[in-house]
Amino acid sequence: MDSKIFCFATFPLLFLLLLFALQANADISLDTLVDPKTICESTSSPSYCEAVLPKQHGKLHDFGKFCLQKSLLQSRRFSDMVNFYLGGKSTLSEKTIRALNDCQFLSQLNVEYLNKCNEFASRATETLSDSEADYAQTLLSAILTNQQTCLEGLTTTASDLSIKNGLLGALSDDSKLHSLSLALFTNGWVQKKNAPILWDSEGVHPGFSNGRLPLKMSSKTRAIYDSVRGRRKLGDEDSVLISDIVVVSQDGSGNFTTINDAVAAAPINSNGTDGYYLIYIAEGVYEEYVSIPINKPYLIMIGDGINRTIITGNRSAGDGWTTFNSATFAVVAPNFVAVNITFRNTAGPSKFQAVAMRSGADMSTFYSCSFEGYQDTLYTHSLRQFYRECDIYGTIDFILGNAAVFLQKCNIYARLPLPGQFNPITAQARTDPNQNTGISIHNCTIKAADDLAPSVGTVKTYLGRPWRQYSRTVVMQSFLDSLIDPAGWSVWDEDFALSTLYYAEYDNSGPGSNTSGRVTWPGFHVINATDAANFTVVNFIQGNDWLLQTGVPYIRGLIATNKKGKVIDTGN
């Protein structure tokens, strides 16, 4: 027997036997013991849950820890399987190799995320802090998203039957296990609380508009920044700590001539205590594919402005790339900030999926940036993300993914698609009811781009369609122009997901905001302020925990207006 196959077959069994032994000897007080059948009744698949959990009474937290450990074990096993298949890549097609590379990358992230979740669970007795619980639920949500992305790539590109038979079944089984881990964690550690309604005047958080950040630097770093930017010192309101600054300039006058070289030189595994590492990118068109790995956190990239600092590429599904790896710019490093940059994919509408930006970076922030493409422009893949005063252009599903993503005060422009096509703006991909993911669009403007404007009456544009079963998108206090079809939302495939999705609108304005002709699906809602509060910056992405350090302005809650529509200064 091949040694790798032997390892795959025996190690999980040995590990599980050890876990059962530990569980049997655990010192659990009798008054908190629960039958696993009772625990499983609250999950989406009770029979699967009962088959997985130890056949004995225990505490909910112990069952949750058991599943997290098993999920970690299975993720390591799957990562080893992908590496095994990539070892024989000389016999594989380029499409299959690309799909396997995606799976390798995503499975390694899953191992890292599960290690972090197990750290939380192992030191927790009864409760976690809200921030810790939200973070762990976010990571567990992302694990399921990574599984789904790997599955999609293999399904559409892998032609080798041995790979399909070997990996697709494992993906399906592991996804069930990860879903169970998420359910038990959510039931055991995530506190169920009513979201408070927070009313703000517009722009309540102090900051600089037009892409200017309040930066706090050493005198040496400040001198470099001021000389490069040609701006005066920002004054005493500095709040964003900068540890160092490097300059990317194509004319050779900076530290680097390419963005990738600047990223390679950034600190590894910074904890952010010394501040952000700032990469200033001078005006120019950078034809680069940039990928910021998870070990490069706390980067700020600042350009010279939209349509002045441009990062561009043209990878697409039409040319054999998976949607995931078609991105011109991709980031998974946490606490990433981008300001004053255009991210572009020029593949065009005939090349199908072609991503300009893909973010799977937790607590990532984009301010005064532009995202330009056609189908699948902005791939908000996973974890928590915030976009402020950005421009987003595209055609089909051009804001997609399964992050917990918040778009605030952005301009969303639908472009002219190919003849016979229509424009669904969003394609949210939530696959599990316990995932804390979705798209929240707040105080934005949704209009036709210049090329679509003459065809608004003939090309249908919708707020979104359900990519996955529990798709969730909320549009609130935004301006919807006449391009939005009266139905508001489109189906994906007949009645798929219409009763399990969550689509909602609140307090929108403009000719496309009338909800009297909206779809009548069970999952569509016109909501009130109490429900809308769940999807604000504070409650949906826990923005107060991490946005303050970025210096980017944001509205924490709902916007308070008077009867004439003017913003009320609440004094907050």
- Structure-token pair, residue 77: 């096993």
DSSP per-residue codes, 321-386: --SGGG-SEEE-STT-EEES-EEEE-S-GGG----SEEE--TTEEEES-EEE-STT-EEE-SSEEE
How far apart CA 233 and CA 119 sit, in angstroms, is 43
Q: Are 270 and 277 in contact (CB under 8 A)?
A: yes
Q: Are 551 and 207 in contact (CB under 8 A)?
A: yes
Q: Are 154 and 103 in contact (CB under 8 A)?
A: yes
145-175 CB burial, b ≥16 within 10 A, e <16: bbbbbbbbbbeebbebeebeeebeebbeebb
Is 397 considered catalytic here? yes
The residues near 293 (Cβ < 8 Å, ≥ 6 apart) are 332, 333
Which residue of the set 62, 304, 376, 432 is catalytic?
376
How far apart CA 75 and CA 505 sit, in angstroms, is 38
Residue 25, burial from CB neighbour count under 10 angstroms (0-12, 13-18, 19+): exposed
- Structure-token pair, residue 338: 């981008």
CA 54 centroid distance within chain: 34
Is 376 considered catalytic here? yes
Nearest to 260 by CA among 285, 224, 286, 228: 286
Write the single-letter amino acid at 389. Answer: E
How far apart CA 393 and CA 369 sit, in angstroms, is 11
How far apart CA 298 and CA 38 sit, in angstroms, is 44
Which residue of the set 200, 397, 481, 485 is catalytic?
397
Write the single-letter amino acid at 379. Answer: Y
How far apart CA 521 and CA 263 sit, in angstroms, is 46
Write the DSSP symbol of residue 437: -
| Residue 22 CA: distances (Å) to CA of 57, 62, 363 | 14, 11, 36
Active-site positions?
376, 397
